Amino acid sequence: MGKSSLTALARQQLIIARDASSGRSASTVYGGHEHTLRQTLIVLLAGRRLDEHENPGEATVHVLLGRVRLSSGDVAWEGSAGDLIVVPDARHALEALEDCAVLLTVAKHN
């Protein structure tokens, strides 16, 4: 059993993202490649994005800070702090409309 402060981790990752040329940072909170369930805190600075990619399994994006847009094809969903977005089972991208921190939760397909 363990406990993590997502707020503190988001603050730390925001500092790292501001120093990174990519304008982003990520930290695995739980799980990893050897687990079915994986949770990753991702920070993107405003205007940065995760380019279109495949969905590795069932996934959600919980917006902790800022605003984001998740898009898949011609459909897009915007979320702000407190919102939970279900990631479609299709190629998708994530864009930061403001500096943001999100918790990506993925249950990989076996």
Q: Which helix (H) or strand (E) holds 37?
A: strand 37-44
Task: Report the C-alpha gap between 17 and 49 in whole angstroms.
Answer: 12
The CATH architecture to which 6-108 belongs is Sandwich (2.60)
Average pLDDT in the 5-31 region? 95
pLDDT of residue 36: 86
Q: What is the pLDDT of residue 33?
A: 75
Q: In whole angstroms, give the CA distance from residue 50 to residue 45.
A: 11
Q: Distance between CA atoms of 104 and 110, rounded to whole angstroms?
A: 18
**Per-residue pLDDT reduced to its tens digit, 94-109:** 999 999 999 999 998 7
For residue 103, the model assigns a pLDDT of 97
- Give the pLDDT mean for 21-49: 93
